[in-house]
Amino acid sequence: MDIKEIIRPDNLVYKRTPLLTDATLSYCPGCGHGTIHRLIMEVVEEMGIQSETIGIAPVGCSVLAYEFMDIDMSQAAHGRAPAVATGIKRLWEDKFVFTYQGDGDLAAIGTGETIHACNRGENITIFFVNNGIYGMTGGQMAPTTLEGMKSSTSPYGRNNKTMGPPIKITEMIAPLPGVHYVTRQAVHKPGPVRKSKKAIRKAFEVQKEKKGLSFIEFVSNCNSGWKMTPNDSNIWMEEHMFPFYPMGDIKVDGKLVK
Amino acid sequence: MTEEIIIAGFGGQGVLSMGKILAYSGMMQEQEVSWMPSYGPEMRGGTANVTVILSDDRVSSPVLQSYDSAILLNQQSVDKFESMVKPGGLIVYDPNGITRHPERNDIRIFQIEAAAEAARTKSPITTNMVVLGAFIKVNPVVDFENVIKGLRKSLPERHHHLIPKNEKAIQRGMEIVTEGKLTS
Amino acid sequence: MKELALMKGNEAIAEAAIRAGVDGYFGYPITPQSEVMEYLMLQKPEERTGMVVLQAESEVASINMVYGAAGTGKKVMTSSSSPGISLMQEGISYIAGAELPCLIVNVVRGGPGLGTIQPSQADYFQSTKGGGHGDYRLIVLAPASVQEMADYVDLGFELAFKYRNPALILTDGLIGQMMEKVELPAQKERTNKFDQSWVITGKTEDRERNIITSLNLVADLQYEHNLKLQEKYKKMEEDVMFEKIECDDAEFLLIAYGSSARICQKVVEIARGRGKKIGLLRPQTLFPFPTVAISKLARRVKGMMSVELSAGQMVEDVKLAVNGKVPVYHYGMLGGKIHSPEDVLSEVEDKFLGGY
């Protein structure tokens, strides 16, 4: 069979969404960011809302997210994405506005902005990628680093007594009345990827219906920061991260389900 | 013509609002005006003072160390501001509670028994208007009609039913102000 | 017909903001400027013009809300006082780096630290030299009256959009808390006629995506960006504003802005009354600074004195302008205390008029 016979539209089983640019992803091979970027852009494409969507890139590994997503985007100072999103959404109520933040950005330096944007029920979507480490700056301890987990600033493992325990910020913001939809997902296997995409779609639908804030935590890996192979990091994530950060919906239609 | 006035007393005596009505009155006669309060913790009940300047020209410094006239409503204010009145200027003060009265010979000194009048009429809320009446009587920098217009501008609409009462208090102040030095 | 009002400087800023057709205000309470947001909330601007007013959880959040909203091409502003403005510096640097137009109001109080709530001009360096990290400048307007507080809101936005740069109104508790007669500007429509090609409102098929960022990891590109910024700051010189009072025959010159300029006007009045030839140059823009005007005057006066409510900050710019031609002195009160006209006059007599 000739290759040209194979490359035919009716043989197409998967194609990259045009909402991802041609730029080469700057993420490490095996990292979850690329998959999450793709899923968000696929949903934006499927909903036909590219011309109404504004994304906020944080400080962290995804600081250059706007290089990869073909939508209007604003960079934000470290931790301030929810405030930046608030400013945009308040003046453009009908646009879709999302932030894309890491654990250091959202749960350490930006805790105040996160909690208050959630509490005000800003009609935005927060995508929170939790890999338990500062990836961009080279593997320092994050607010979500597990007890005993080694990082460059907790080289003997996180000591809960002196460093504080890891923070479950998703469970913290879920009870706030302004928050409408909260779920925790992953993207390390086809099943979770499909579930994640459904969650992203739901989050944008919540925004469309102006029901309040939607919040998705993606528990993800950082094979470089964790100093593992991509496959090992995914296994380690299932064995260690998932028990502490359990998968599934936390709040649906404004009601806590967990 | 420029008139530089200091009004001082306890917080709650209506010092700031009196100054505001005076400033509005100046506006009503097409003057330039400035109203500069002392602000800060003293807003919560200590001493309060406000500098009001009425001028036919652009107002320069709102911060002054000497004044054409002074309206003084407690002892601290008398002690602080008496010496800052320019020679030839005037002081209007309420002798109620004053133990050391103004004593300068190079300025004119007037008393207004506003607190006593308020006690007599059981209307403490218009005390500052009695003082204002006394002031415009002895120092007619603003016309009575313009003060009433200023009052109308200064008071929120929902308080306009109080205007006749205030007007009466101003007139009363004009009647009962007296001139001369008192000694303790 | 003229619409006159008696207003505090802070209230005039707020009323002028509604009338300038401002789209959004994001702020956090701090003395001595809380009247700005209080007045706005009381006025229900969402009903008057559709303007959004939001009390944020901090100054840090406020300035980032401004950053976000400014990226959409709307007219947005915040106001604060010294400690709050210090907190905003990171965001202001990002706004300058991303070249976004917005208006920031600093009603200065005495510092350092929590300091006092009394008026001060000690934030001059922070305002005119950048304030946050990196080589950037703000357009700095220095109102000296309640009227100018009102007028500079619209002017600030005009310049901010002309240069795509944050503009700052640098005032203090004295002008903010003082009431004066003010002629209110006419109500403008809440539409923005400035270039909107760069804003983020959602990518449409007819254009490339727009990105608001101050990040440029490639040093060569960041270098080019900096050169472009510097060119812009240089160009701002065409918008320098200042007022000369009794300068034509002056032998000695006072340089003062804002509240201190008001005090110095009185000094000039008194001095002239005594036959002393004192003049006043009042910068209305502190960046751009009236360097050329001061330099020219340095050729024909015997000396200058920068009078500020600080330990001597603007005096450095005056000295640069004078470039050693004549003596330049500083006089000023610190930490929230205000000099009186008499204080200044006695210093002027001491420095300049001893030989008279």
For residue range A131-142, what is the model confidence (pLDDT) as tens digits? 999 998 989 999
Distance CA C162, CA C88 (A): 23
Instruction: For the beta carbon of residue A101, count every other beta carbon within 10 angstroms.
Output: 30
The secondary structure of C83-123 as a DSSP string is: HHHHHHHHHHHHHHHTT--EEEEEEEB--STT--SSB--TT
Percent above pLDDT 70 for chain A:
100
Kindly report the CATH number assigned to the domain that includes residue C19: 3.40.50.970
Higher pLDDT, A6 or C15: C15
Q: Check whether residue C182 and residue C250 sit in a common domain.
A: no
Peptide linkage before C185 cis (omega within 30 of 0): no
B24 contacts in chain C (CB < 8 Å): 6
Mean pLDDT for B128-144 is: 96
Q: Give the nearest partner residue to B61 out of C31, C117, C263, using CB atoms.
A: C263
C259 contacts in chain B (CB < 8 Å): 62-63
Q: Give the nearest partner residue to A112 out of C61, C94, C202, using CB atoms.
A: C61
pLDDT at C211: 97
Q: Check whether residue C186 and residue C261 sit in a common domain.
A: no
Distance CA A102, CA A131 (A): 8
**Are C67 and A84 within 8 A, CB to CB?**
yes
Tokens of A73: 């985007």
pLDDT at A6: 85
Chains that touch C (3 or more CB pairs under 8 A): A, B
Chain center to CA of A86:
18
Kindly report the CATH number assigned to the domain that includes residue C263: 3.40.50.920
Q: Check whether residue C11 and residue C146 sit in a common domain.
A: yes
**Are B63 and C341 within 8 A, CB to CB?**
yes
Q: Give the nearest partner residue to A87 out of C76, C90, C205, using CB atoms.
A: C76
Question: Is B5's pLDDT higher than 70?
Answer: yes
Q: Which residues contact A15 (CB under 8 A, 6 or more apart)?
A: none
The model's pTM = 0.94
Q: Check whether residue C56 and residue C95 sit in a common domain.
A: yes
Q: Please check whether residue C332 is in contact with residue C312, taking contact to mean a CB–CB distance below 8 angstroms.
A: yes
Radius of gyration of chain B from its Cα atoms, rounded to whole angstroms: 15
pLDDT at C356: 44
Beta bridge partners of B69: B5, B90
C2 contacts in chain B (CB < 8 Å): none
Q: Give the nearest partner residue to C214 out of A75, A87, A91, using CB atoms.
A: A75
Mutate to test the interface with C, among B15, B38, B60, B86 (most CBs of C within 10 A): B60
Distance CA B1, CA A237 (A): 82
Distance, first Cα to last Cα, chain B: 36
Residue C213 lies in a domain: no
> What is the H or E stretch that residue A17 is in?
none
What's phi and psi for A195, nearest 5 deg? -65, -40
Rounded to a whole number of angstroms, the distance from the CA of A36 to the nearest CA of chain C is 20
Mean pLDDT for B132-160 is: 94
Domain C-terminal end among C186, C214, C238: C238
Rounded to a whole number of angstroms, the distance from the CA of C50 to the nearest CA of chain B is 25
Question: Is B46's pLDDT higher than 70?
Answer: no
Residue type, C124: Y
In this structure, which CATH number among 3.30.565.10, 3.10.129.10, 2.40.50.100, 3.40.920.10 belongs to the domain B2-179?
Answer: 3.40.920.10
Mean pLDDT for B119-130 is: 90
For residue range A56-88, what is the model confidence (pLDDT) as tens digits? 999 999 999 999 999 999 999 999 999 999 999
Distance CA C12, CA C3 (A): 13
Q: Check whether residue C302 and residue C194 sit in a common domain.
A: no
For residue range C173-229, what is the model confidence (pLDDT) as tens digits? 999 999 999 999 999 999 877 888 999 999 999 999 999 999 998 999 999 999 999
Q: Give the nearest partner residue to B35 out of C179, C340, C341, using CB atoms.
A: C179
Percent above pLDDT 70 for chain B:
95
Q: Which residues contact A160 (CB under 8 A, 6 or more apart)?
A: A147
Chains that touch B (3 or more CB pairs under 8 A): C
Nearest partner of C282 among C307, C303, C251, judged by Cα: C307
Looking at this predicted complex, what is its ipTM?
Answer: 0.91
For residue range A201-211, what is the model confidence (pLDDT) as tens digits? 999 999 999 99
Ranges of residues in chain C with a pLDDT under 70 are: 354-356
Residues A30/A31/A36/A37 CA torsion (nearest 10 deg): -100
Q: Please check whether residue B97 is in contact with residue B74, taking contact to mean a CB–CB distance below 8 angstroms.
A: yes
Q: Which residues contact A173 (CB under 8 A, 6 or more apart)?
A: A114, A115, A118, A179, A182, A215
Residue C267 lies in a domain: yes
Mutate to test the interface with B, among C171, C181, C342 (most CBs of B within 10 A): C181
Q: Give the nearest partner residue to A88 out of C62, C68, C217, using CB atoms.
A: C68
C320-327: long-range contacts, CB 8 A cutoff, minimum separation 24: C320/C291, C321/C289, C321/C290, C321/C291, C321/C292, C321/C294, C321/C295, C322/C294, C322/C295, C322/C298, C323/C295, C323/C298, C325/C295, C325/C298, C325/C299, C326/C298, C326/C301, C326/C302, C327/C302, C327/C303, C327/C351
Domain C-terminal end among C216, C238, C260: C238
**Are A52 and C54 within 8 A, CB to CB?**
no
pLDDT at B184: 62
Q: Which residues contact A95 (CB under 8 A, 6 or more apart)?
A: A52, A53, A54, A88, A89, C201, C202
Residue C356 lies in a domain: no
Q: Check whether residue C234 and residue C261 sit in a common domain.
A: no
A25-256: which CATH topology? Answer: Rossmann fold (3.40.50)
Distance CA B47, CA B13 (A): 10
What is the extent of the structural domain holding C120?
Answer: 4-202+227-238
Q: Please check whether residue A126 is in contact with residue A101, taking contact to mean a CB–CB distance below 8 angstroms.
A: yes
For residue range C229-266, what is the model confidence (pLDDT) as tens digits? 999 999 999 999 999 999 999 999 999 999 999 999 99
Classify strands A248-252 and A179-186 as parallel, antiparallel or unpaired.
antiparallel
Q: Check whether residue C188 and residue C101 sit in a common domain.
A: yes
Q: By three-state DSSP, how is residue A122 classified?
A: coil
Distance CA A216, CA A257 (A): 15
Residues from B in contact with C at Cβ < 8 Å: 20, 23-24, 27, 32-37, 39-40, 58-66, 153-154
Residue C181 lies in a domain: yes
Chains C and B: 3 or more CB pairs within 8 Å of each other: yes
Distance CA A11, CA C25 (A): 54
Question: Is B41's pLDDT higher than 60?
Answer: no
Residue C213 touches chain A, beta carbons under 8 Å: yes
C214 contacts in chain A (CB < 8 Å): 75
pLDDT band at A3 (very low <50, low <70, confident <90, very high): confident
A85 contacts in chain C (CB < 8 Å): 68
CA geometry: angle C321, C327, C331, nearest 5 deg:
90
pLDDT at B43: 45
Mean pLDDT for A152-181 is: 97
Residue C215 lies in a domain: no
Residue C210 lies in a domain: no
Residue C260's closest chain B neighbor by CA? B61
Number of DSSP helices (H) and strands (E) in chain A, helices first: 11, 10
pLDDT at B39: 67
Tokens of B95: 């002798």
**Are C60 and A80 within 8 A, CB to CB?**
yes
Tokens of C37: 């947001």
Q: Which residues contact C97 (CB under 8 A, 6 or more apart)?
A: C134, C136, C214
In chain C, the number of structural domains is 2
pLDDT at B40: 54
Q: Check whether residue C248 and residue C163 sit in a common domain.
A: no
Distance CA C301, CA C322 (A): 11
Radius of gyration of chain C from its Cα atoms, rounded to whole angstroms: 21
Q: By three-state DSSP, how is residue A75 classified?
A: strand
Nearest partner of B132 among B65, B42, B69, judged by Cα: B69
pLDDT at B180: 86
Rounded to a whole number of angstroms, the distance from the CA of B38 to the nearest CA of chain C is 9
Residue B150's closest chain C neighbor by CA? C6
pLDDT band at A9 (very low <50, low <70, confident <90, very high): confident
Tell me the pLDDT of chain A averaged across its residues.
Answer: 96
Tokens of C337: 């205390």
Q: Please check whether residue A181 is in contact with residue A128, taking contact to mean a CB–CB distance below 8 angstroms.
A: no
Q: Check whether residue C245 and residue C234 sit in a common domain.
A: no
Structural domain boundaries in chain A: 25-256
Q: How far is CA A137 from CA A63, B103, C94, in A?
A: 12, 75, 20
Q: How far is CA C59 from CA A85, C81, C276, in A?
A: 16, 10, 47
Mean pLDDT for A105-111 is: 97
Tokens of B124: 């403490």
Q: Check whether residue C260 and residue C172 sit in a common domain.
A: no
Residue type, C315: V
**Are A92 and C72 within 8 A, CB to CB?**
yes
pLDDT band at B45 (very low <50, low <70, confident <90, very high): low
**Are B61 and C262 within 8 A, CB to CB?**
yes
Question: Is B95's pLDDT higher than 80?
Answer: yes
pLDDT band at A150 (very low <50, low <70, confident <90, very high): very high
Q: Check whether residue C177 and residue C251 sit in a common domain.
A: no
Q: Check whether residue C133 and residue C44 sit in a common domain.
A: yes
Distance CA B36, CA C340 (A): 14
pLDDT at C224: 97
pLDDT at B161: 93
